Amino acid sequence: MLYELTEEQRMLQDMVRRLAREQIAPGAAERDRKGEFPWDMVEVFRENGLFGCDFKEEYGGSQMGVLAYCLAVEEVAKVCASSSVVLLVHELGSMPMLLAASDQQKKKWLPGLASGEHLIAFGLTEPGAGSDAAGIRTVAIKKGDKYIINGTKQFISHADVAQYVCVACKTDADLPPHKGGLSIIVVEKGTPGFAIGKKEDKMGIRASTTCELIFEDCEVPAENILGREGDGFAILMKTLDFTRPCVAAQALGIAQGALDYAVAYARERQQFGRAIIKNQGLAWMLADMDTAVEASRQLVYKTAAVFQEISKDLSKVPREAIRLSAMSKLMAAETAMKVTTDAVQVLGGYGYVKEYPVERMMRDAKITQIYEGTSQVQKMVIASCL
Ligand code: COS
């Protein structure tokens, strides 16, 4: 399948590029230094309707689709990866609802999410369940018209600022998670028995908050379950199929941002009486970086275009799309790590200090090889499609 950006997508791309330059880039270093959740960026995204890009018009969105969302994420990530996580986590947390909520649930939850009035988080990972998504131990036992949740989630992005968290729980101890043992339940902020635990002090994406969730006899209305009891594993896997291209777009943006900076620097920086870009060793390094970034872009946009098509009928994600989703994330994340590391090399000593942005970009790039499935998990997924 071939894609071509539409007029509407190009306009969005230009708009976010301008926002990134004028309103997001200037505070990026300080956001990284402070390590506080960027509410001012949330406001910028709200004002410009970015949260609702991938939501249907009937729920208050602009229905522009996954590719448009990826374009927005890429532009923001070029200048500030932390700020782009706000958009990523919104898509990740909303996706189980977009995929599996009833019409009534959608009417209740989606408009507030489409406008960005409410934020949402995704609660899968636990101390003993990360790559092994089936290893979840948090339990939800049905009692009357309630589920009682007990367990701990770990490394959950933005749960401390979210109105809702989609929590993956075991609802049947006797059934394997992939065979009906797992469900997704929406827990609202302030529900008694739901507390935020330890907040992580991270290497990168420092303005994005990451925390532990503690559920102690947390009572949630049974009507907050997404789909039917036991649908959880399939919803989780489909969610990740849809959102991995968005992480790939983030990685792509980080890589492009670092490449642009390194090229501009190499054209200016004089050593041995000439601009360092004239040295073949560095010129070839920049050529390799540019090639990898462009290859990643093609894969990310193609994958997003494929998912845009699929989203017209969400009943099944074809194997070819699962394969592309994992490939786009793998390729873009590996490229981001390599390109940002090489950008630091191009800047030499200046690359290693916080006065220049490539140091931050290199730290930010690392997470793209880890979250929403490590690069090794992506290879497992790709291999399983062969
Ligand atoms: N999309 C849709 N369905 C999928 C899928 C995918 N990406 N991966 C697996 N499935 C389905 C399989 O088709 C299978 O269905 P059937 O039972 O109907 O045949 C079922 O799920 C079980 O598959 P499998 O036996 O391969 O499951 P595993 O427990 O071995 O898990 C991986 C496979 C590793 C791919 C899965 O656990 C995973 O994606 N882990 C990473 C999770 C992750 O990203 N964690 C990061 C934190 S989330 S921010």
Over residues 227-281, the pLDDT tens digits come to 999 999 999 999 999 999 999 999 999 999 999 999 999 999 999 999 999 999 9
Cβ partners under 8 Å of residue 287, min gap 6: none
Cβ partners under 8 Å of residue 383, min gap 6: none
Listed range (66-75, 81-90, 307-316) with the worst mean pLDDT: 307-316
Instruction: Report the pLDDT averaged over residues 55-63.
Output: 95
Average pLDDT across the chain, whole number:
96
Supply the pLDDT for residue 1: 57
Question: Which residues approach ligand 1 with their CB closer than 6 A?
Answer: 124-125, 130-134, 178, 233, 237-238, 240-241, 317, 322, 371-373, 377, 380-381, 384
Instruction: Report the pLDDT averaged over residues 11-36.
Output: 97
Q: Please check whether residue 86 is in contact with residue 45, taking contact to mean a CB–CB distance below 8 angstroms.
A: yes
Query: For residue range 161-217, what is the model confidence (pLDDT) as tens digits?
Result: 999 999 999 999 899 889 999 999 999 999 999 999 999 999 999 999 999 999 999
4 confidence band (pLDDT: 50, 70, 90): confident
Q: Whose CA is nearest to atom 16 of ligand 1?
A: 178
Q: Whose CA is nearest to atom 6 of ligand 1?
A: 237
Q: Which of 178, 371, 386 to mutate to test the pocket of ligand 1 (most atoms within 8 A of CB)?
A: 178
Q: Please check whether residue 212 is in contact with residue 156, taking contact to mean a CB–CB distance below 8 angstroms.
A: yes
Domain boundaries, the chain: 7-115, 120-224, 232-385
Cα-to-centroid distance, 384 and ligand 1 (Å): 10
Is 3 a residue whose pLDDT tops 90? no
Supply the pLDDT for residue 316: 85
Collapsed DSSP state (helix, strand, coil) of residue 224: helix
Ramachandran area for residue 116 (φ above 0: left; ψ -120 to 50: alpha; else beta): left
Instruction: Report the pLDDT averaged over residues 31-44.
Output: 97
Neighbours of 228 (CB within 10 A): 10
What is the total residue count of the chain? 386
Instruction: Report the pLDDT averaged over residues 145-172.
Output: 97
Supply the pLDDT for residue 2: 58
Supply the pLDDT for residue 378: 98
Instruction: Report the pLDDT averaged over residues 311-323.
Output: 90
Instruction: Report the pLDDT averaged over residues 340-346.
Output: 98
Cα-to-centroid distance, 237 and ligand 1 (Å): 6
Residue type, 288: D
Is 312 a residue whose pLDDT tops 90? no
Q: Which atom of ligand 1 is nearest to the CA of 384?
A: 26
Cα-to-centroid distance, 119 and ligand 1 (Å): 26
Is 224 a residue whose pLDDT tops 60? yes
3-state secondary structure 84-148: HHHHHHHHHHHHHHHHHCCHHHHHHHHHHHHHCCCCEEEECCECCECCCHHHCCCEEEEECCEEE
Q: Which of 233, 237, 369 to mutate to test the pocket of ligand 1 (most atoms within 8 A of CB)?
A: 237
Ramachandran area for residue 14 (φ above 0: left; ψ -120 to 50: alpha; else beta): alpha
126 counts as catalytic: no
The CATH class for the domain spanning 120-224 reads mainly beta
Supply the pLDDT for residue 247: 98
Cα-to-centroid distance, 125 and ligand 1 (Å): 14
Name the residue among 363, 349, 373 with its Cα closest to residue 31.
363
Query: For residue range 287-305, what is the model confidence (pLDDT) as tens digits?
Result: 999 999 999 999 999 999 9
Pick among 3.40.50.720, 1.10.540.10, 3.30.70.100, 3.30.565.10: CATH of 7-115: 1.10.540.10
> Domain 232-385 adopts which CATH fold?
Butyryl-CoA Dehydrogenase, subunit A; domain 3 (1.20.140)
